[in-house]
Amino acid sequence: GMLGEDGSIQGLLDLLGICYQCSGVLGSSIAMNKAVAKQFYERAGIEVPPYRAFCRGDTPDARKLVDLLGLPLVVKPAGGGSSIGMAIVHSQSEVSGAIDNAFAHDSTVLVEAFLNGIEITGGVLGNDHLQALPLIEIVPRAGHEFFDFAAKYDVSETEEICPARLDEGLAEKAREIALSAHRALFCSGCSRTDMIVCDGRIYALETNTIPGMTPASLLPLAARTAGISYAGLIDRLVGLALEKKSIKQGDGL
């Protein structure tokens, strides 16, 4: 969340000359702001769900939003993580309340068209030379309309299928999108881009610059499927952090 993932601590560590594993100030700050990240996705040719962004003080018109984007709608803070402050609304009467709730968590709010499809996530390892990890299909169990906070952190609430059940053509395209998102947002070390497959098209939702590393987390699962043990993944990430610092200092390897 704020301070930890938005480039703040990364800038402090840069000033102190301390090596760290994750994207730097630029990549962290871009990816943390979903409204800004969408603009970078679009410039890189990555498709995103139709959306509108609002700043505190704006007066979104619920009727116009429903006419433009349809129902259901996804309402979420532009910053933050773990789906906190996010809601799916099914009627025009719910829109204003959901936007107000999202504004309680951030000064910018996104309203997106809800795409009903297969939710997947694609991990990437690397700085300049990138490796796309196997895709994971995320299937929240009954009672979760989307991959919410409880579903993310309780392994019994979500089925995580790796590799994802996609035909190879779609899977290859999704891996390419994860690589493109990593580059477009100036990520380094590792990233994990959430996507949704809908009617044969793949839409990027957001990119995580510090993916979870618990036993229930997705990046270690993808790495394990690729033949990289948990210890091997940690070694790889440490090596990428050292590589990044060495390149930044111009020392070579």
Could you list the pLDDT tens digit for every one of the 253 residues in the chain? 778 899 999 999 999 999 999 999 999 999 999 999 999 999 999 999 999 999 999 999 999 999 999 999 999 999 866 678 899 999 999 999 999 999 999 999 999 999 999 999 999 999 999 999 999 999 987 654 554 445 544 566 789 999 999 999 999 999 999 999 999 999 999 999 999 999 999 999 999 999 999 877 999 999 999 999 999 999 999 999 999 877 666 544 3
Q: How many angstroms from the chain centroid is the CA of residue 242?
A: 24
Contact 101, 83 (CB under 8 A): no
Concatenate the DSSP letters of all residues of 199-246 into one string: TTEEEEEEEESS---STT-HHHHHHHHTT--HHHHHHHHHHHHHHHHH
Please, how many CA atoms are within 13 Å of residue 219, restricted to the half-sphere of its CB?
Answer: 25
Contact 159, 139 (CB under 8 A): yes
Q: How many residues does the chain have?
A: 253
Bridge partners (DSSP) of residue 109 are 54, 77
Amino acid code (one letter) for 185: L
The pLDDT of residue 252: 42
Concatenate the DSSP letters of all residues of 42-75 into one string: HHTT-----EEEEEBTB---HHHHHHHH-SSEEE
The pLDDT of residue 183: 98
- Lookup result for tokens 């996507």: 195
Instruction: List own/partner pairs for 164-167 with CB under 8 A and 24 or more apart.
Output: 164/118, 164/120, 164/134, 164/135, 164/136, 164/137, 165/118, 165/137, 166/118, 166/120, 166/135, 166/137, 166/197
